[in-house]
Amino acid sequence: MEHLEMVSEVKHQRIKANGIWIHVAEKGTGPLVLLLHGFPELWYAWRHQINYLAQHGYHAVAPDLRGYGDSDSPIDPTSYTCHHLVGDLIALLDHFGEQQAFVVGSDWGSNIGWHLSLFRPDRVKGFVALGVPYHPRSPTSKPVETIRNFFGDQSHVCQFQEPGRAERAFARYDYLTVMKKFILMTCTDFLASPPGMELIDFLSTPSVVPSWITEEELTFFADKFQESGFTGPLNYYRAMDLNWELLAPWQGSKITVPTKFIAGNKDMCFDFETAGTKAFVESGTFKSLVPNLEVVIIDGHHFIHQEKAQEISEEILSFIRKFPPNASI
């Protein structure tokens, strides 16, 4: 029951930010650390880090990103661009009266953190990205087309494009099963199903829950998604090509914010031929785009902040402790 007691100490509020209501969970006092979850997660994905950072003198704030949990969920996919998402975060920083924050992101949260660092480096003291590196924008190809060329129509990104399709497929399962299929997945390739099969049908449901998470914790996620649905989260994918159009002014831009990138060696696409994360990191391209970068590879899968919670918490703390209090970059 330890995690339930820990969660009961977390403070919750809904904040009017950037025109919508955003739910945040927070704990601790000190420098602000903003924790950005991925798909399909919630603030609760950071339950271990919230507690750890609060114990070590930081103000940990984990929002339900727009479309998720107890935050507002606009219906239109065009309300989920990187500009909307970064705008939400700037509004949260302003609400807390903080000029700068440390930012930690996983999966889509990493993507949003990269764009926050790109658009507003003045507001980010340091950034920790889990799993998803900063990829250069192609000057010629939209991302969905690029992914289709690489991985075919059966990739998750392609399957998630059509409004309602993935929602209908997910609805064939109870919410707990959907959570297990995603959060517990051990897929090391790009996420794609065989031809003619929906991704959710292809993903296996582990018969045994691994030691790093409990059935009760998975049920917390499931119950929230049962309330809020999956359309908001899926809209992030449906805005990917629009993001590409909107990011044209930043073509060729570098990320100047001090950054630590952490990936699991069994994450999706980590070892994928020439296009995987490992090859990208080792090629030197990543470092050329993010000059102030350190890279850490640890043993683990995609949801590494939950799977290897203590190790990730320590990696975050060791990074943010390098910055003197109240020092601006």
DSSP secondary structure code for residue 297 in this structure: E
Contact between 157 and 111 (Cβ < 8 Å): no
CA 144/CA 238 separation, integer angstroms: 9
Please give the pLDDT value at position 192. Answer: 84
Please give the pLDDT value at position 70. Answer: 98
Between CA 243 and CA 255, with CA 249 as vertex, the angle to 5 degrees is: 85
The residues, ordered by sequence, that sit 6+ positions from 159 with a Cβ below 8 Å of its Cβ are 153, 165, 166, 169, 193, 198, 199
Contact between 302 and 270 (Cβ < 8 Å): no
Contact between 156 and 236 (Cβ < 8 Å): no
Task: Give the model confidence (pLDDT) of 126-143 as tens digits.
Answer: 999 999 999 989 999 999
Task: Give the model confidence (pLDDT) of 190-201 as tens digits.
Answer: 788 988 899 999
Q: Which of 109-118, 210-219, 256-265, 273-282 has the lowest mean pLDDT?
A: 273-282
* Residue 225 predicted with pLDDT over 90: yes
The full DSSP string for 123-171 is: GEEEEEEES---PPPPSS--HHHHHHHHH-TTBHHHHTTSTTHHHHHHT
Contact between 246 and 240 (Cβ < 8 Å): no
Please give the pLDDT value at position 324. Answer: 83
Contact between 191 and 159 (Cβ < 8 Å): no
Nearest CA-CA partner of 23 in 40, 43, 9, 37: 43
| Mean pLDDT (the chain, rounded) | 94
Give 308-316's long-range contacts (Cβ < 8 A, gap of 24+).
Answer: 308/212, 308/264, 309/48, 309/49, 309/212, 310/48, 310/52, 312/48, 312/49, 312/130, 312/262, 313/48, 313/49, 313/52, 313/53, 315/128, 315/260, 315/262, 316/33, 316/49, 316/53, 316/104, 316/128
CA 130/CA 267 separation, integer angstroms: 10
Nearest CA-CA partner of 135 in 246, 265, 289, 22: 289
Contact between 186 and 301 (Cβ < 8 Å): yes
Catalytic residues: 107, 237, 302
Task: Give the model confidence (pLDDT) of 282-291 as tens digits.
Answer: 889 999 999 9
* pTM metric for this prediction: 0.96
Please give the pLDDT value at position 273. Answer: 65
Contact between 74 and 232 (Cβ < 8 Å): yes
